[in-house]
Chain A
Amino acid sequence: MQTADSTQPISRRGSVWRWIFGVVAACFVFAGVAVFNLVTLTREATVLRNEVFAALDVSARTRIQLSVGPVALTALRTGLSFVDRVPREVRLAFDAVRSASVGVYELRGKVGAHERANLFAATDKKMSRRGWTRVVGVNDARDTVLIYMPTEENGGGAQRICLVVCDRDQIVVVDATAKPEPLIELAGLRRGLASL
């Protein structure tokens, strides 16, 4: 009886340590996932990037790969609201962007005109299967630009786009969601500043 009483606090202490270990481990896992998400592209941007590399038949070195989701951006916006002297343009930019995933890749070879021409058909096919429509496509001797938007029209609010820009030296892939109103205000502000 006495033996059982003396072991109870030890067992409770062990249980508390298990909880502490669990919480710390969960924090590490959460931080790991957050860092992984921060340095990898979103699913749509990854698909677009892979399709572009396959169509262009060229290898590339990653220069920048960064994704910022709505939670991180909301935290940033909240943080900014406590800071004075932040330019209005910066506040508007953060208010406009709801999520962003950007990848910049340095090309290790030359992209031929034939591959650039084929890029359109390949990426269109892949993206349309995933519910995206190309709204802009430009191809000239130097640059190739493809911009996709969701095929399903949303009534308003934040708009999502996926785009890829390929010039002679690098490829830029972007998947972003932005609200139009702050962007319009930002554009107006830029025009106002430019006219000064």
Chain B
Amino acid sequence: MNHSLRFAAATLALSLASLTAHAVEPGYVDLGKFTPAEGCEFVEVNLHSTVLKFASLFVGKDDADAAALIRSLKHVRVNVIGYNDTTRAEMTNKVESVRRELESQGWAQIVAVKHGGKQEDVAIYVKAHDEDAIDGLVITVIDSCKKEAVFVNLVGNIKPEQIAAIGRDLHIDPLSRITVTPRKGA
């Protein structure tokens, strides 16, 4: 009986530990669930470490650096959500609320771009681990021309100098153009 109880307690503790580990991954941001608006473009990619390892094997044949980079990521989430006149306000509010939440949680904004008045509004945030590493990165974009909002969350042990390479390898344009030197405690 005691043995069974100990086994049950250990199983419960392990389950809770694994749940907690996932929940407190410092670079992870719960962006919530998105569903496509009627007649609008929608893309969602949500890759965890197993799939990223799988992807790195494919890339590794040609580009060892890119493969190492992808292996260092624990989670990649990309959302491109088209909006129409009905959902425009909802989507703009969502982007603004994500930005506010990141700022309140101590994420550092490293890029803020507004092209053509408010036609393209880009904000990039990083969660710095120390001077040499970033735990997470979030990109938020509202593109009024294309009528779409973009959310990207990369989680892992990312070196600041790798950010541009990630942008190139994963075809995320705003990232491929930047270099980052995070401050300690940001």
Contact = CB atoms under 8 A, between A and B. Distances in A.
| A and B co-occur in one complex | yes
Interface of A: 113-114, 116-117, 120-121, 124, 133-141, 149, 153-156, 159, 180-181, 183-184, 187-188, 191
B105 interface: no
Given A113-B39, A154-B50, A184 B61 contact: yes
Interface in B44-88: 44-51, 53-54, 57-58, 61-62
B38 interface: yes
B13 interface: no
Nearest to B78: A136
Nearest to B45: A136
Closest 6 CB pairs of A and B: A113-B39, A137-B44, A139-B42, A153-B50, A117-B36, A139-B36
Contacts of B44: 134, 136-138
Contacts of A153: 48-50
Contacts of A137: 42-44
B93 interface: no
Contact of B51 (A121, A135, A138): A135
Interface of B: 33, 35-51, 53-54, 57-58, 61-62
Contacts of B48: 133, 135, 153
A174 B34 CA distance: 24
Given A113-B39, A117-B36, A134-B46, 17 more contacts: A120-B36, A136-B44, A136-B45, A136-B46, A137-B43, A137-B44, A139-B40, A139-B42, A140-B41, A141-B39, A141-B41, A153-B49, A159-B54, A183-B58, A184-B58, A187-B61, A191-B61
B50 A117 contact: no
Nearest to B61: A188
Contacts, number: 65
A114 B48 CA distance: 30
Nearest to A151: B48
Contacts of A181: 57
**Among the interface residues B36, B38, B42, B44, which one has the most CB atoms of the partner chain A within 10 A?**
B36
A180 B36 contact: no
A156 B54 CA distance: 8
B142 to A, nearest CB: 19
A140 B57 CA distance: 30
B38 A180 contact: no
A140 B38 CA distance: 10
A182 to B, nearest CB: 11
Contacts of A136: 44-46
**Among the interface residues A155, A159, A184, which one has the most CB atoms of the partner chain B within 10 A?**
A184
21 contacts: A117-B35, A117-B37, A117-B38, A117-B42, A124-B33, A133-B46, A135-B46, A136-B44, A137-B43, A138-B43, A138-B44, A139-B36, A139-B40, A139-B41, A139-B43, A153-B50, A154-B50, A156-B53, A159-B54, A180-B54, A184-B57
B46 A116 contact: no
A120 B46 CA distance: 14
Contacts of B38: 113-114, 117
Nearest to A159: B54
A16 B14 CA distance: 58
Contacts of B54: 159, 180
**Among the interface residues A135, A141, A181, which one has the most CB atoms of the partner chain B within 10 A?**
A135
A77 B11 CA distance: 40
Contacts of A139: 36, 40-43
